[in-house]
Structure 1
């Protein structure tokens, strides 16, 4: 593998990428708004490179889900890169299962598309220098010789390989010229536990670097409680003024806690390097058979010049551009202009009371804003922030090619802490569907009518929000109800 930090000039990239799509898979979170931020940042940076026909993100616990992601993509060849640390439970079991790639295979044809599956970002050799970079940044002028460095991984009993990459990185740092007095790999859910940090570290200065992609639920909220920095989980990183007030005096030692590594600008180059490793440069990739299918579908739906999708109104402007607003703001002339990237994405994450919106199709989208974009491509990109994959899903539904998953199948394939949802009975399922779907979500659940003929789109000037598979919020609700009734 090429180390992005080892060269000052940009390497040449395979020309056949121009006919392919790139899909970056992140974990996401139903509880923390920052978990998906590094994945979106990687996608933004890679789009700017203009190396692929299109670049998208999909998530395990956010939208667009992996099962919906292929509907967003026009290209017939898709490189899939897991934005995960280890070759373990998620990258060897969950992601292949969700995308339809046979376990252990690196290629598969799914929904008429050729998927090429790469190794996760955490295996790249640049991860060790990145961990050291974070450690040095947070330790400041403290000599490494006076410090214990603890690398924190997740750890899991679900796959014994999950911890191997953390052990490897710790050993590489020990064998380097970094000169830390000691380097120890620790874990959230396996021994040695990070909660025992004060007993593990023999030095008075302790530097802790979380080996995670995002400053999300684990690195920003869970681990600080395990360390004793916080007594209970705090607000997300983006909702506080500073990351951490280093150093901390705890348990007779001075502790320095670092941010995660996934926000480093070099992560885009890491992804490109992994795709290069997965590319057969001796073969050509044919141009997509329908290179602008979703854009053409959206353009047709605009019809006379406007359309609605969920709580969003899209209109052509007099000068040939497009405006997006909340449907309630149709007549308003005092809207706050926001850009179609960071500001729009950030706005979709929170409701009017600043509460996190993990479900983008919830009926509480903020109003009072306007986005103006120059092209139908930019409209589609903006709508994929507002309602991820919704346009592609609606097009697939009209074409009769949209896979639909029964809710019982969704519950039965859950693992780990969510495995219990497979025990949900009909009454419990009806309870959570009524509370979540009917009361709060704008999507039409197709999995409740799988045996019935598919309903067409609502009209030329409307794109319906469709739900081909129960969301992770519903899974979490089902877990809670099943546990409640068993206690």
Structure 2
């Protein structure tokens, strides 16, 4: 993201809070939300840009209370619209709807709750570009190759399942030729059973996860068969680079979670602009 998109409205007197779930077991400086906040802050589009979390410091309520501006936009850095974005996050921030009027020690403040970043129409294209770039750089052919998309899944509702499958289906619209399979962490088909879906010679694992926390850096790659304690694995993941290995005659390639992609910063800005239309 080398330059700011052409502004639709002047946001230079407003604040932006990137609200993420967080992971107490992940080093804060490595989180994608902090990276995107820094990227957007450097663009100068907003008067104040911060990241906050539900489960780790700085907590989103404390961050919001520290933004002393009359207008603040909250963008959930989440993959889909579900329980966290519609219930847990608004409750943590004491929000009453899409727009909340409140009185702070510094005066009146209007807080806008935007849709999660994963709902942006450009998400599938951004995902496809990342996969295609990896296939090109690692010389992975279209034939005898499979793409395995990994979503979170949930026993609480069908939002994650349906949204992840929709993103996976849309990949073919943006140049993905190999077959695409969808797996999940918390509901079938489980990622640990991925061999039940494909025996392709080349398998690219693409986590549709917005956070770079425990799921994307340890749980998912471990279920696939990667050694997540390897220094090389950790280093490549921290530099947003794919890891690969050969196992039982198959070439396995693991991409960093989608939320790590630098392009996601622009999608966060898009969610703010979408709330204005």
* Range of TM-score over shorter length: 0.7 to 0.9
CA distance in 1 between counterparts of 2:47 and 2:175 reads 42
Deviation string, structure 1 residues 336-382 (Cα, Å, up to 9, x no partner): xxxxxxxxxxxxxxxxxxxxxxxxxxxxxxxxxxxxxxxxxxxxxxx
Correspondence for 1:10: 5
- Distance apart, 1:185 and its partner CA: 1.4
Gaps of 5+ in 2: none
Q: Which residue of the other structure, out of 108, 116, 124, is the alignment partner of 1:128?
A: 124
Matched residue SS, 2:143 = helix
CA distance in 2 between counterparts of 1:195 and 1:93 reads 30
Given the two structures, how large is their TM-score scaled by the length of structure 2? 0.87
Correspondence for 2:252: 255
Say if 2:221 is the partner of 1:199.
no
Deviation string, structure 1 residues 442-461 (Cα, Å, up to 9, x no partner): xxxxxxxxxxxxxxxxxxxx
Correspondence for 1:101: 95
Correspondence for 2:18: 24
- Distance apart, 1:26 and its partner CA: 1.6
CA distance in 1 between counterparts of 2:19 and 2:34 reads 10
CA distance in 2 between counterparts of 1:236 and 1:34 reads 19
Q: Which residue of the other structure, out of 71, 74, 77, is the alignment partner of 1:80?
A: 74
Deviation string, structure 1 residues 310-355 (Cα, Å, up to 9, x no partner): xxxxxxxxxxxxxxxxxxxxxxxxxxxxxxxxxxxxxxxxxxxxxx
CA distance in 2 between counterparts of 1:265 and 1:127 reads 12
Correspondence for 1:162: 160
CA distance in 2 between counterparts of 1:89 and 1:35 reads 26
Considering fraction of residues, name the structure with more strand: 2
Correspondence for 1:60: 54
Alignment RMSD, CA only?
Answer: 2.6
CA distance in 2 between counterparts of 1:204 and 1:82 reads 37
| Distance change >3 Å, CA 260–CA 26, structure 1 → 2 | same
| Distance change >3 Å, CA 96–CA 235, structure 1 → 2 | farther
- Distance apart, 1:275 and its partner CA: 0.6
Given the two structures, how large is their TM-score scaled by the length of structure 1? 0.51
- Distance apart, 1:34 and its partner CA: 5.5
Matched residue SS, 1:122 = helix
Say if 2:111 is the partner of 1:115.
yes
Q: Which has the higher contact order (CA 8 A, sep 6+)?
A: 2
Gaps of 5+ in 1: 281-487
User: Do 2:125 and 2:174's aligned partners in 1 also have CA atoms closer than 8 Å?
Assistant: no
CA distance in 2 between counterparts of 1:14 and 1:159 reads 36
CA distance in 2 between counterparts of 1:195 and 1:259 reads 17
CA distance in 2 between counterparts of 1:220 and 1:61 reads 17
Greater CA radius of gyration, 1 or 2?
1
